[in-house]
Amino acid sequence: MTPATPRVRDLTQRARRLVPEIDGGSMHELLLAMWLVFDPGGYQADHDLGAEWFQGMVEATPADLRQEIEFLGTTDYGTWCALRGLVARAPGDHDIDSVLEWLAGLEPAEIRRGLLAYTVDLPDDPALVAQAIDGDRQALASLLGDRQEAASFYGALFSLPHGQLRDRIVAALRRFRDEVYRKVEDEFTSAITRAAKGVTVLAKEADPERLIEAVTNGLDYRIQPGVARLVLVPSVIVRPWAVMDQHQDTLVVVFPVADEYIDLDPDAPAPWMVKVYKALADAKRLRILRRLAEGPSTLDELAKTLELSKSTVHHHVGLLRGAGLVRIAIDKAAGIKTYSLRPSVIPSARQALDEYLGLEPTDSLPTTRRT
């Protein structure tokens, strides 16, 4: 008698609910400052703090420290970005003092592995990986392929003795914090702490992707398979941008601290409302909004339709995104970003303006139409 084929319900393959984690630790902001202050990419003027603020931070950094920071971490192969992945896995509170103490005692090879894993997916070849983190140029070339700039960067970095590299990274962080970042640390940390508490309430039972859209002011992001952790990090220095970064199986979403969590003059207009009206006060941005009112569009399509350069459209779309007027959808698999209109923001701004001016809805100016 042939035995019956067993019937199995395999529950090991079912999707696990991704529970968002809110990390308001001050160490993230220090690392973001180390990255953005010395970023040569030209985006500083698009941040709320402004190019002058960033330039002031650069000028406040002693020349020898600036040289050390630039040696230890470039923009593309960023030590300071990679360290945020390590920080996300650090035990306890992620305040600056605790994390620096933890990093100073961390096995040096773990830091090197974390830096390299930020740039390339490490293969299941322990011997090759060990050779690479020891600074073997041939092993690095094998891992990085034709990425010669990356191989050169890690070759120079990993030529340092293991413990010396770790100690220099920690020393650079301590010096930048003590000599430059201290003047804004309390202000930034206070706003970040308030924002983290606010989003923690919002995150309860929230759908992770809708939560990302809410905190980033319109980023429609699809979480890719393989992501086991979602960490949301509020930041003052990135405002109004959001920064998406994946560290192995951890997706880190750095989102701008909302205006209400920053100390403001109680008689001042709401900053978000000011951003909306500033964004609307430009003919090119109005043309972009009118095009998006017809339907979603990519950056290339907007540039072609409006006969503007791609860099010009990118700049204006960034301002519209910062004001919450535009939603961005990212198809990571296809490498496509699509922009669409968020029409509900404009009526909200109009209502906020009426309330700020003390007008009743009936006091508003009548709408006129040209015939």
* Residue 268: pLDDT over 90: no
For position 16, what pLDDT does the model report? Answer: 56
User: How many residues would you count in the chain?
Assistant: 371
Instruction: Specify the amino acid at residue 225.
Output: P
Helices (H), the chain: 26-37, 51-60, 63-72, 79-89, 96-104, 108-119, 126-133, 137-144, 148-157, 162-176, 182-203, 208-215, 271-280, 283-293, 299-306, 310-322, 345-357
Render pLDDT for 226-255 as a digit per residue (tens, 0 to 9).
899 999 999 999 998 889 888 889 999 999
Residue predicted with more confidence, 298 or 343? 298
For position 331, what pLDDT does the model report? Answer: 75
Average pLDDT, the chain: 85
Residue predicted with more confidence, 20 or 4? 20
Do 117 and 247 meet the contact criterion of CB atoms below 8 Å apart?
yes
* Residue 371: pLDDT over 70: no
Taking residue 186's Cβ as centre, other Cβ atoms within 10 Å add up to: 10
Is residue 240 reached through a cis peptide bond, with omega within 30 degrees of 0 on the bond before it?
yes
- 271-360: CATH topology is Arc Repressor Mutant, subunit A (1.10.10)
* Residue 204: pLDDT over 90: no
Residue predicted with more confidence, 56 or 4? 56
CA gap 228, 19 in Å, rounded:
9
Sign of the dihedral through C-alpha 193, 194, 197, 202: negative
Sign of the dihedral through C-alpha 17, 18, 23, 27: positive
Of 190-199, 236-245, 340-349, the range with the lowest mean pLDDT is 340-349
Query: Nearest-CA neighbor of 33 among 93, 81, 92?
Result: 81
* Residue 277: pLDDT over 80: yes
Over residues 101-114, mean pLDDT: 94
- Residue ranges per domain, the chain? 20-256, 271-360
Over residues 330-338, mean pLDDT: 77
- pLDDT bin (cut points 50, 70, 90) of residue 12 is very low
Do 242 and 256 meet the contact criterion of CB atoms below 8 Å apart?
yes
Do 116 and 142 meet the contact criterion of CB atoms below 8 Å apart?
no
Looking up tokens 């030209």 gives 42
For position 44, what pLDDT does the model report? Answer: 82
Over residues 125-132, mean pLDDT: 92
Pairing status of strand 20-22 against strand 326-331: unpaired
For position 206, what pLDDT does the model report? Answer: 76
* Residue 2: pLDDT over 60: no
The single-letter DSSP state of residue 77 is T
For position 7, what pLDDT does the model report? Answer: 60
The single-letter DSSP state of residue 233 is E
Over residues 306-316, mean pLDDT: 89
For position 193, what pLDDT does the model report? Answer: 92
Residue predicted with more confidence, 76 or 30? 30
For position 370, what pLDDT does the model report? Answer: 43
Render pLDDT for 136-164 as a digit per residue (tens, 0 to 9).
999 999 998 888 888 888 989 999 998 99
Query: Nearest-CA neighbor of 82 among 53, 56, 112, 102?
Result: 112
For residue 340, CA distances in Å to 41, 237, 242, 299, 352 come to 26, 26, 17, 11, 23
CA atoms within 13 A on the CB side of 125: 12
Give CA torsion, residues 234, 237, 240, 245, to 10 deg: -60
For position 239, what pLDDT does the model report? Answer: 92
Of 87-101, 144-158, 327-341, highest mean pLDDT: 87-101
The single-letter DSSP state of residue 338 is E
For position 368, what pLDDT does the model report? Answer: 46
